[in-house]
Structure 1
Amino acid sequence: MKFSENWLRSHVPTSANRDGLAATLTAIGLEVEEVTALGDGLTGVVVARIVEAARHPEADRLQVCQVDVGGDAPAPDRYLQIVCGAPNARPGLVAPLAMVGSSVGGIAIKAAKLRGVESNGMLCSARELGLDADASGLLELPADAPVGAQLADYLGLPDASIEIKLTPNRADCFSVRGIAYDVAAALASEVVPLDVAPVPAQGAAAMEVALEAGERVPRFAGRVIEGVDATAPTPVWMAERLRRAGVRPISFLVDVTQYVMLELGQPMHAFDRDKLEAPVVVRPARADERLKLLDGREAVLDGEFLVVSDSRGGRAARAVALGGIMGGEDTKVGDATRNVFLEAAHWIPSAIIGRSRRLGLHTDAGHRFERGVDPELPRMAVEYATRLILDVAGGVPGPLTEAALAEHLPRPTAIGLRRARVARVLGIEIADAEIERILRALGMQVAAAADGWQVTPPSRRFDIAIEEDLIEELARIHGYDRVPTTVPGGPARIAAPSEIRLAETDIRRQLVARDYLEAIGFAFVETALLDKWHSAAGTVPLANPLSAELAVMRPRLLPGLVDALARNAARQAGRVRLFELGRTFAEADPAQRAPGGPDPAPVETRRIAAVACGDAHAEQWGEATRRVDFHDIKGDLESLAAAAGAILEFRASAEPFGHPGRSADVHRIDLEGGPVRIGWIGQLHPRLQKALDLDVDVVAFELDLAPLERRALPRAEALSRFPAVRRDLAFVVGMDVAWAALAASARAAAGPVLRDLLLFDRYQGPGVESGCKSLAMGLILQDNARTLTDQDADAVVERVVAELGRHHGARIRG
């Protein structure tokens, strides 16, 4: 929300300076993001009119202007000669003039000669004055601006544009008056009453309104004003307040609706009455109904959208506005408009949430209605806008028409606030008088009760529903800095870390030692990104996403982590190694739903993922450069598994995002109950890398964290005093036989005397038949009680050979 400092001060008088006001806003939860000073130090800058403009004799792009600066002297004597290079300098233009002796943008203005022609001042652009970023020409002022007046006085300067960051629950502060109540409470001031007296009808023209959307639109107010002058210029004071709030003035009738929205918080729309046919109907859109919007786009609607329609072609036949979001092109006001229909309605948040995003729109009206607008504002907004239009553009107002569904309008409810509860929650005593002052300053009705107060919040405060909400308001306004910090007392229970679980800190430390950096990603991702990963099935959608790019909860860590890698790679980071520990989310099994009960909560899974691309090692002179590959990241994973004492097995994977032949499913085989699949490792599929616009090969892994963390309880054992025996065996097996499968069978056959199993050679070529390979393994055998004999070792070898032959068709290589 952006607004003018002077505009706010007109609603809440305060002696606080600009810095103090900004600090107060931040302290009460309305975080100030930016303060832009406007018009400081404009002494000596006056309103002037160009009387004559002639071409400079020595420069094609310069003009020699005679400028009227006002005063009591006769016309020729009050003219100044100014050399100007602005393309819009012309006779009759009213623009700011910096007089000799003034200072603009830190530059002292002096009399000078430009290409031999005297110049006694400087005509200024908005950028040179620090009022706007526009430097395309002179700042054009209204033709009736008082020549000779100080520009600062005419434009209401100095001022500042203040931008605050609002949390979603503070929809009431999407208006200057909403902010004013908070400032008044914090600075012990009072909000200036706003006189919005009803405008008496001077004509009979009216538009019948019908509400056919039920609780979604419980109130709609409108008024016809005939005979307005649509070409009337927007008053300078209004135009400047709009500019300083980030809204560029368009035309008076449009600017009035914007002004009322910013001041009161109620979005409005102005229709050309002559382009409407009564009655006006508020209804759900029809399937595939089309509406051309004010921005020129055609929206294709369905029953989830609400529209305002007129009865041209039959009752409610034609949609003329997209409810709560944007008006339609066919009925917009223009310079030829003579009769206006003003409307202000109350659209409940659930009727608007997500609709703008579906159409790729973002409007100020939709932004406000999604968060909630005061249901009591529509009538006041129409009355206020009517008064502004009559004062500037004239016209004959008709009666205000209001349609309301009283049963669907929220009713104020008193909330009990206990004196003892305030002290218990905040830990401090706040005087009763101060509590009542704060609550009343915030616009609440306060009535004394035996143990405290009965408080009725204003209709604009949707966020106040329970006693703790009121206590939060007291803490916010009284000052969080005035709540003392108290160290908790009492005995503390120290939880000892589990010895059968690898701590997350140890996992992080292990990966950092392997040259990875930790990344922290959003728990939300874009559906289109998951489609590229073939991972969109079973995802958990958000009811009200922050944006279309964050529409579903992530089912995997890898899409977001690879996206982070891609961002780094696109910024010339040649070697990227990232890991993340986080939670993933999936829909629960519908079968878990109890009869008549709510849907089961989504399933959350703790996972760990890592990605790498570029060189396998950091650049250095002693080692040849090579690219990271599957075996590098497999080694990183195995080092992580070793910290938990886990034995992993890798089996060919069918994951669609994995490279065929360079990816595997990861199983942990030392858990009770046999091998358990815990994740995936490998290189990304070339098609996926192309879809993600990656021009480097990416290797990655993602595992469930819980089974990886489990480790056996450490047990101290004495080292064997007896020598180890080694037996080397070379087997010929089919190409489709995996080493992991052979190793598992060999361990099972060898028994407890097997201390280690090594794969030290893989051969394929002469001496080994086609379609087969030779794998050479070393069996390290040792007993704790005695020295193993040759007969003992041979018995183990015989069992291993028999087991591998029986289950894998392996035979000893000749």
Structure 2
Amino acid sequence: MRVPLSWLREYVDLPAGETGRDVAARLVRAGLEVETVEQLGADLKGPIVVGEVLSIEELAGFKKPIRHCFVNVGDANGTGEPQEIVCGATNFAVGDKVVVVLPGAVLPGPFPIAARQTYGHTSAGMICSTRELGMGDDHGGILVLESHLEPGTDAIELLQLVDEVLDIAVTPDRGYCLSMRGVAREAAAAYGLPLADPALLDVPPANADGYPVKVADPAGCDRFVARTVAGVDPSAQSPIWLQRRLQKSGIRPISLTVDITNYVMLEVGQPLHAYDRERVNGPILVRRAEEGEKLTTLDGVERKLSVEDVLICDNSGPIGLAGVMGGASTEILDPAAGPGTTEVIIEAAHFDPISVARTAKRHKLPSEASKRFERGVDPDAARAAAQRAVDLLVLIAGGTAEAGVTDIAAPHPLRTIQIAADLPDRVAGTEYGRETVTRRLQEIGCTVIGADVLEVTPPTWRPDLTDPYDLAEEVIRLEGYDNVPARMPTVPPGRGLTEVQRFHRRTGVALAGAGYVEVINYPFIGESLLDALGLDADDERRRTVKLVNPLNDEEPSLRTSLVPGLLGALRRNVGRGNTDLALFETGTVFLPKAEQKIAPRLPVDRRPVEEELAALDAALPNQPRRVAVALAGERLPSGWWGKGGASCWADAIEAARTVARAANVELTVRQSQLAPWHPGRCAELAVGDRVVGYAGELHPRVIKALNLPERTSVMELDLDLLFADGAQRVSGPTVSSYPVATQDVALIVDSAVPAAEVEAALREGAGELLESIRLFDVFTGEQAGEGKKSLAYSLRFRATDRTLTADEASAARESAVAAAAARTGAVLRGA
């Protein structure tokens, strides 16, 4: 909302020395967002006066029209003689009043003006267009003024060329500030001055002689005011003061009737629409659109209407989109193109904000009217706005206001809010007092009664005030947020990080120490990405939590896995030339419950009780925390020392072991199959009998679908399950000073037997003396036998209190082999 300071002073008697920046500072302190203060005419310097064209000589022999003019500028030039000026514009004639810039003046730019010789004549000044005066971008010709103006009149003051304009970013809850009336109310409260409300007009009551109107949809239109003006002079032009106020407010003047409706909208905040009465066919009807109806709007576009659109209709059908834009069939006629409009119907209505917002969005047709309706318009301002438009038409266009007044209004029950008088004190942590609270609420238009508990009735232009805390916020902002004391909160004695937090930090530090780089991705996912991962239709990871209002229509759900986002980050890095990558991410995934409940609305005037918090938790999806890694390119870099090593599935499994060590658990790795991993290079990660994640190389089809590097490997683990299985505190290893006894064993097993199962059996059979076990060789071939494989393990035995004898080490080895034979059918190789 652009607010000219000169216009604002009509409603609030601001101190004479107050500048635009001073006013902006006060409004910002009151909670408005003043983005800029534009200085109009700051580099303008006179003399700039009104001139009367006395004669025009057309100069021939030039490539473009050139005119040698004599202009009467009164005594502004010091001699009273006509001013000689050469001009290239042709849209003015002898007798016209124009704006003349005399030598010594400076135009915006800055552009100094001096007398000079041009086209064989002396040009002592300049006849100006609106753009040269800084009034707008129109450079179609010379600005022609009203005929009654006296030559020599100061044009700077006449055209209001010097002014300050405040550009205010109006937030959605302060729609009343999309008007001079609303901003003036804020300025009056900020300065403690009275407000001259432009909506306080004497308006005749409704009567039966008004233009016939029927509202068939009270939910979409709860108020409709219609007034009629006859005998309007179609050739009447908008006066300079009206045009200038529109221009400063960012609206282009069009014609007198349209300019008046725009002016009143800016002044009072009530959008208006004007109809040519001679083109309206019968009574006006407000209703919803019917299937298949169409309307050609004022912009000349034929629009297919929705059954949700509220329409203004006559006997011929739709003549306007309610609250958005009028129809072309009843628009005010331009007198330059025909006889012009002489009888005008003024519409001032109040439409449902949601309906208007949806209609404007559906038709991609934002307008100044819809911008105001969707933020909330004062329904009680309709009568005053219609009266103001009628008065201006009568005053400027010589029309006659007809006695008939149409005012159809649905009942509006008053909203009363009870608020404790000390609530603003408790919210802000300071003391305002009941008198201050009452005064500030009355300044914004509320009716206040009561003592300790106030009964407050918000004004009709503040639909955003619905809660006691809304009223408390109004008091606090008007008293000044800078006056709210800043106190450090009392912090209870700290207990440090929780064990879960310590574990999460250890996980990140461990992976970073292993050469991984942490990334953070958006938690959104779409069906197309799940398809690319090759997930089956009944895969649990396809059961997602859908967002009501997603940021991206292609990703309308919350993630059920960290892998998709991590692969997206890896693909973006590869596309930017980073080919050797090791990325990791920790974060929550969102798993819907079998029966999803609706979240309750928690109170704001107290702390929620345990039952309310439990109901809120029950409505949330399960959100386990996970960790995932993705690798591509070289894990060990190549260099002068030799060829490096490419990352593979084994690195992804080792990353899982790194996380498991941070959780103080032993990870079991066994072969598995699960999308999106390669069926022959996928490992299931378990702690005991519980599966906690998967790791391995991606399926080639997934790599192709997502355009990833070959042999890309990923791993994903459930950190909550790891923490539940691990010790809450990580303890250091037991160190023995006695020597180690190493025993190797090679076992023949069926090819289908997992090596992890053989290792578990050996570990169980070896007993407490076993310090570590390592698989160092896997062999298949004729020597192993058909359908068999040889697994060679290195077993390290050590005691904490003595040196083991050879017999003790051999006995432990034999026990381990026996356990493996019993559980897996293993046979000692060479036996």
TM over 0.5: yes
1:480 Cα offset (Å)? 1.7
Give the aligned partner of residue 82 of structure 2. 78
Query: Quick one: percent identity of the two aligned structures?
Result: 28
Match for 2:809 among 785, 789, 813? Answer: 789
Alpha-carbon distance between aligned partners in 2 of 1:699 and 1:234, rounded to the nearest angstrom: 73
Match for 2:27 among 25, 33, 42? Answer: 25
Tell me which structure has the larger Cα radius of gyration: 2
Alpha-carbon distance between aligned partners in 1 of 2:585 and 2:176, rounded to the nearest angstrom: 39
> Partner letter of residue 438 of structure 1?
R
- The answer to whether the Cα contact below 8 Å between 1:2 and 1:163 also exists between their aligned partners in 2 is yes
Q: How does 1:524-543 map to 2 (within 5 A)?
A: 538-542=544-548
Give the aligned partner of residue 686 of structure 2. 669
Match for 1:425 among 424, 427, 438? Answer: 427
Q: How does 1:253-652 map to 2 (within 5 A)?
A: 253-312=257-316, 318-335=317-334, 336-398=340-402, 399-406=404-411, 409-413=412-416, 415-418=418-421, 420-430=422-432, 433-447=435-449, 449-451=450-452, 453-489=454-490, 492-502=492-502, 514=515, 516=517, 519=520, 521=522, 538-542=544-548, 545=549, 554-555=558-559, 589-590=594-595, 601-603=619-621, 605=623, 639-640=658-659, 642-645=661-664, 647=667
1:268 Cα offset (Å)? 2.9
Alpha-carbon distance between aligned partners in 2 of 1:344 and 1:72, rounded to the nearest angstrom: 48
1:120 Cα offset (Å)? 4.7
Question: Greater CA deviation, 374-383 or 743-752?
Answer: 743-752
Match for 2:175 among 161, 171, 177? Answer: 171
**What SS class does the counterpart of residue 312 from structure 2 fall into?**
strand
1:187 Cα offset (Å)? 1.6
Deviations 1:208-256 (A, max 9, x none): 2222324343222223334445564444333333333333334443333
Q: How does 1:770-789 map to 2 (within 5 A)?
A: 778-784=793-799, 787=804, 789=809
**What SS class does the counterpart of residue 39 from structure 2 fall into?**
strand
**TM-score when normalising by structure 1:** 0.77
CA separation of 1:627 and 1:781: change in aligned 2, threshold 3 A? closer
Alpha-carbon distance between aligned partners in 1 of 2:773 and 2:297, rounded to the nearest angstrom: 72
Give the aligned partner of residue 315 of structure 1. none
> Partner letter of residue 70 of structure 1?
V
CA separation of 1:340 and 1:129: change in aligned 2, threshold 3 A? closer
Alpha-carbon distance between aligned partners in 2 of 1:246 and 1:609, rounded to the nearest angstrom: 54
Q: Number of aligned residue pairs: give it.
A: 780
Alpha-carbon distance between aligned partners in 2 of 1:813 and 1:444, rounded to the nearest angstrom: 98
Alpha-carbon distance between aligned partners in 1 of 2:41 and 2:543, rounded to the nearest angstrom: 57
> Partner letter of residue 155 of structure 1?
L
CA separation of 1:794 and 1:21: change in aligned 2, threshold 3 A? farther
> Partner letter of residue 687 of structure 2?
D
CA separation of 1:457 and 1:664: change in aligned 2, threshold 3 A? farther
1:97 Cα offset (Å)? 3.7
Deviations 1:751-804 (A, max 9, x none): 36665565667899999999x998977555445457462453354356557756
Question: Greater CA deviation, 71-80 or 474-483?
Answer: 71-80
CA separation of 1:18 and 1:508: change in aligned 2, threshold 3 A? farther
- The answer to whether the Cα contact below 8 Å between 1:69 and 1:80 also exists between their aligned partners in 2 is no
1:675 Cα offset (Å)? 0.7
Deviations 1:38-69 (A, max 9, x none): 22131226256787586798x95796764747
Question: Greater CA deviation, 547-556 or 786-795?
Answer: 547-556
- The answer to whether the Cα contact below 8 Å between 1:586 and 1:602 also exists between their aligned partners in 2 is no
- The answer to whether the Cα contact below 8 Å between 1:28 and 1:477 also exists between their aligned partners in 2 is yes
1:478 Cα offset (Å)? 0.9
Deviations 1:702-724 (A, max 9, x none): 77664466542223452244516
- The answer to whether the Cα contact below 8 Å between 2:289 and 2:306 also exists between their aligned partners in 1 is yes
> Partner letter of residue 740 of structure 2?
P
Alpha-carbon distance between aligned partners in 1 of 2:579 and 2:478, rounded to the nearest angstrom: 51
- The answer to whether the Cα contact below 8 Å between 1:583 and 1:604 also exists between their aligned partners in 2 is no
Q: How does 1:726-741 map to 2 (within 5 A)?
A: 727=744
- The answer to whether the Cα contact below 8 Å between 1:502 and 1:709 also exists between their aligned partners in 2 is no
- The answer to whether the Cα contact below 8 Å between 2:547 and 2:557 also exists between their aligned partners in 1 is yes
Alpha-carbon distance between aligned partners in 1 of 2:12 and 2:694, rounded to the nearest angstrom: 62
**What SS class does the counterpart of residue 220 from structure 1 fall into?**
strand
- The answer to whether the Cα contact below 8 Å between 1:160 and 1:244 also exists between their aligned partners in 2 is no
**TM-score when normalising by structure 2:** 0.75
**What SS class does the counterpart of residue 164 from structure 1 fall into?**
strand
**What SS class does the counterpart of residue 14 from structure 2 fall into?**
coil
Deviations 1:577-616 (A, max 9, x none): 987766666765447579xx99973526265677989976
Match for 1:712 among 727, 745, 749? Answer: 727
**What SS class does the counterpart of residue 603 from structure 1 fall into?**
coil
Over the aligned positions, Cα root-mean-square deviation in angstroms equals: 5.4
1:674 Cα offset (Å)? 1.0
1:96 Cα offset (Å)? 6.7
> Partner letter of residue 175 of structure 1?
S
Alpha-carbon distance between aligned partners in 1 of 2:785 and 2:305, rounded to the nearest angstrom: 68
Alpha-carbon distance between aligned partners in 1 of 2:830 and 2:86, rounded to the nearest angstrom: 102
**What SS class does the counterpart of residue 669 from structure 1 fall into?**
strand
> Partner letter of residue 742 of structure 2?
V
CA separation of 1:792 and 1:175: change in aligned 2, threshold 3 A? same
Deviations 1:61-85 (A, max 9, x none): 796764747224899943344577x
CA separation of 1:450 and 1:158: change in aligned 2, threshold 3 A? same
1:9 matches 2:9: yes
Deviations 1:496-549 (A, max 9, x none): 43335545555565666656465575x78999999999999754443xx59776
- The answer to whether the Cα contact below 8 Å between 2:589 and 2:626 also exists between their aligned partners in 1 is no
CA separation of 1:349 and 1:53: change in aligned 2, threshold 3 A? same
Structure 2 unmatched ranges of 5 or more: 335-339, 536-540, 600-611
- The answer to whether the Cα contact below 8 Å between 2:34 and 2:166 also exists between their aligned partners in 1 is yes
Alpha-carbon distance between aligned partners in 1 of 2:60 and 2:784, rounded to the nearest angstrom: 95
CA separation of 1:402 and 1:712: change in aligned 2, threshold 3 A? same
> Partner letter of residue 375 of structure 1?
P
Deviations 1:313-343 (A, max 9, x none): xxxxx33333333333444434244443332
Alpha-carbon distance between aligned partners in 1 of 2:221 and 2:673, rounded to the nearest angstrom: 54
CA separation of 1:64 and 1:319: change in aligned 2, threshold 3 A? closer
Give the aligned partner of residue 217 of structure 1. 221
Alpha-carbon distance between aligned partners in 2 of 1:123 and 1:570, rounded to the nearest angstrom: 60
CA separation of 1:216 and 1:587: change in aligned 2, threshold 3 A? farther
Structure 1 unmatched ranges of 5 or more: 313-317
Alpha-carbon distance between aligned partners in 2 of 1:115 and 1:554, rounded to the nearest angstrom: 73
